[in-house]
Amino acid sequence: EAQVTQNPRYLITVTGKKLTVTCSQNMNHEYMSWYRQDPGLGLRQIYYSMNVEVTDKGDVPEGYKVSRKEKRNFPLILESPSPNQTSLYFCASSLGFGTPFQEDEQFFGPGTRLTVL
Protein backbone atom coordinates (compact mmCIF):
# COMPACT_ATOMS: atom_id res chain seq x y z
CA GLU A 1 0.00 0.00 0.00
CA ALA A 2 1.31 3.43 -1.01
CA GLN A 3 1.71 5.50 2.11
CA VAL A 4 3.63 8.01 4.19
CA THR A 5 4.39 6.83 7.71
CA GLN A 6 5.43 8.88 10.71
CA ASN A 7 6.77 7.80 14.06
CA PRO A 8 5.98 8.32 16.80
CA ARG A 9 2.32 9.27 16.48
CA TYR A 10 2.28 10.81 19.94
CA LEU A 11 5.15 12.17 21.99
CA ILE A 12 5.37 14.01 25.28
CA THR A 13 8.80 15.31 26.15
CA VAL A 14 10.53 17.97 28.22
CA THR A 15 12.26 21.16 27.23
CA GLY A 16 15.75 20.64 25.85
CA LYS A 17 15.60 16.88 25.29
CA LYS A 18 16.58 16.17 21.69
CA LEU A 19 14.07 14.22 19.64
CA THR A 20 13.56 12.95 16.11
CA VAL A 21 10.29 12.39 14.29
CA THR A 22 10.74 9.97 11.44
CA CYS A 23 8.99 10.13 8.09
CA SER A 24 9.14 7.45 5.42
CA GLN A 25 7.40 7.03 2.06
CA ASN A 26 7.26 4.00 -0.20
CA MET A 27 6.23 5.74 -3.43
CA ASN A 28 9.69 6.72 -4.71
CA HIS A 29 8.76 10.37 -4.32
CA GLU A 30 11.44 12.98 -4.84
CA TYR A 31 9.73 15.82 -2.97
CA MET A 32 9.13 15.67 0.77
CA SER A 33 8.05 18.32 3.20
CA TRP A 34 7.26 18.95 6.88
CA TYR A 35 4.38 21.06 8.14
CA ARG A 36 3.18 22.03 11.58
CA GLN A 37 -0.48 22.62 12.36
CA ASP A 38 -1.55 25.06 15.05
CA PRO A 39 -5.06 26.28 15.94
CA GLY A 40 -6.06 29.34 13.97
CA LEU A 41 -2.97 29.18 11.80
CA GLY A 42 -3.62 26.19 9.57
CA LEU A 43 -0.59 24.27 8.36
CA ARG A 44 2.75 25.98 7.83
CA GLN A 45 5.75 24.57 6.05
CA ILE A 46 8.86 23.95 8.16
CA TYR A 47 11.35 22.41 5.72
CA TYR A 48 11.23 20.71 2.39
CA SER A 49 13.46 18.51 0.25
CA MET A 50 13.56 18.36 -3.54
CA ASN A 51 15.64 15.18 -3.56
CA VAL A 52 18.38 13.31 -1.72
CA GLU A 53 20.81 15.71 -0.03
CA VAL A 54 18.75 18.73 -1.19
CA THR A 55 16.87 20.45 1.62
CA ASP A 56 15.78 24.00 2.31
CA LYS A 57 13.84 26.11 4.76
CA GLY A 58 10.12 26.72 4.61
CA ASP A 59 8.23 29.44 6.44
CA VAL A 60 8.90 28.41 10.05
CA PRO A 61 12.27 26.59 10.21
CA GLU A 62 13.57 28.00 13.51
CA GLY A 63 14.35 25.30 16.04
CA TYR A 64 14.22 22.44 13.52
CA LYS A 65 16.68 20.47 11.44
CA VAL A 66 16.16 17.92 8.70
CA SER A 67 18.24 15.53 6.65
CA ARG A 68 17.64 13.57 3.45
CA LYS A 69 20.25 10.85 3.14
CA GLU A 70 17.89 8.37 1.50
CA LYS A 71 15.08 9.06 -0.92
CA ARG A 72 12.42 7.42 1.23
CA ASN A 73 13.26 9.04 4.59
CA PHE A 74 13.02 12.62 5.77
CA PRO A 75 13.41 12.90 9.56
CA LEU A 76 12.58 16.05 11.49
CA ILE A 77 14.99 16.82 14.32
CA LEU A 78 14.36 19.05 17.30
CA GLU A 79 17.75 19.51 18.94
CA SER A 80 16.46 21.46 21.94
CA PRO A 81 12.66 21.41 21.98
CA SER A 82 10.78 24.25 23.59
CA PRO A 83 7.11 24.54 24.61
CA ASN A 84 6.33 26.70 21.56
CA GLN A 85 7.07 23.66 19.42
CA THR A 86 4.09 21.86 20.88
CA SER A 87 2.08 21.16 17.76
CA LEU A 88 0.71 18.61 15.30
CA TYR A 89 3.32 17.72 12.69
CA PHE A 90 2.71 16.37 9.21
CA CYS A 91 5.10 14.93 6.69
CA ALA A 92 4.06 15.04 3.03
CA SER A 93 5.53 13.73 -0.22
CA SER A 94 4.94 13.96 -3.94
CA LEU A 95 6.59 12.89 -7.18
CA GLY A 96 8.39 16.18 -7.62
CA PHE A 97 9.32 18.96 -9.96
CA GLY A 98 8.35 18.47 -13.58
CA THR A 99 5.53 16.07 -12.83
CA PRO A 100 2.26 16.96 -14.57
CA PHE A 101 -0.12 18.54 -12.12
CA GLN A 102 -2.71 15.80 -12.30
CA GLU A 103 -0.10 13.28 -11.18
CA ASP A 104 1.63 15.41 -8.55
CA GLU A 105 -0.69 15.04 -5.59
CA GLN A 106 0.88 15.51 -2.19
CA PHE A 107 0.34 12.58 0.16
CA PHE A 108 0.28 13.28 3.88
CA GLY A 109 1.38 11.13 6.76
CA PRO A 110 -0.96 10.46 9.71
CA GLY A 111 0.50 13.24 11.86
CA THR A 112 2.56 13.34 15.05
CA ARG A 113 1.15 15.05 18.11
CA LEU A 114 4.09 16.56 20.03
CA THR A 115 3.84 18.08 23.49
CA VAL A 116 6.88 19.82 25.00
CA LEU A 117 6.59 20.48 28.73
Partner 1 sequence: AQTVTQSQPEMSVQEAETVTLSCTYDTSESDYYLFWYKQPPSRQMILVIRQEAYKQQNATENRFSVNFQKAAKSFSLKISDSQLGDAAMYFCAYRNPNAGGTSYGKLTFGQGTILTVHP
Shortest distance, position 76 Cβ to partner 1, whole Å: 16
Residue type (1 letter), 58: G
Burial class of 78 by CB neighbour count within 10 A (0 to 12, 13 to 18, 19+):
buried
Cα 12 from Cα 20, distance rounded (Å): 12
Residue 57 in the binding site for partner 1 (CB under 8 A): yes
In the complex with partner 1, which residue's Cβ is closer, 15 or 26? Answer: 26
Site string for partner 1, 75-104 (x = CB under 8 A): -------------x-x-x-x-xx---x--x
Residues 6+ apart with CB under 8 A from 62: none
Question: What residues does 42 pair with on adjacent strands?
Answer: 38
Is residue 106 a contact point for partner 1 (CB under 8 A)? yes
Contacting residues toward partner 1, per CB under 8 A: 31, 33, 35, 40-45, 48, 50, 56-59, 88, 90, 92, 94, 96-97, 101, 104-106, 108, 110-111, 113
